[in-house]
Amino acid sequence: MEVPLQRLFSTFASGCPGVGLAVQRVVTSIALTTLAVDRLTDASQIASSIPEIVGASAGMLLLLGFCTPIAGAVVVGAQLWAMLSHTESRAIGLILLTLGGTIAMIGPGAWSVDARLFGRKHIDSSAR
């Protein structure tokens, strides 16, 4: 008799929903990285680009689908920080905050490191 064991997430979406989550993770990661690179290329804004660097680092974790709930929460925090400290990037900050929050709540999907590490495991209780 096999008993499924799953940790950390209730499901890892596959099929069309899984592809949608993967696309959302990729787009969010690209946007966070682009925002950080834009801030870092402007020499006058290097000192105030810490929230964008933190967001881009969490974006790389989202891209891989590794520690997805934590990375999504970090994206939310970094975008709140950036929105409060920079008035010019509030619209994109709100969008990225929303994307990071939804990824954190939904989970990484089937095509992620988290799914490989914490996905469904089968324990064969008849083996001794």
Band of residue 107 on the pLDDT scale cut at 50, 70, 90: confident
Domain ranges of the chain: 2-124
Band of residue 71 on the pLDDT scale cut at 50, 70, 90: very high
pTM: 0.81
Per-residue pLDDT reduced to its tens digit, 10-50: 567 778 888 988 999 999 999 999 999 988 888 777 778 89
DSSP symbols for 80-98? HHHHHH-STTHHHHHHHHH
Local structure of residue 45 (DSSP, 8 states): G
pLDDT at 64: 94
R_g over Cα of the chain: 17
Per-residue pLDDT reduced to its tens digit, 93-103: 999 999 999 99
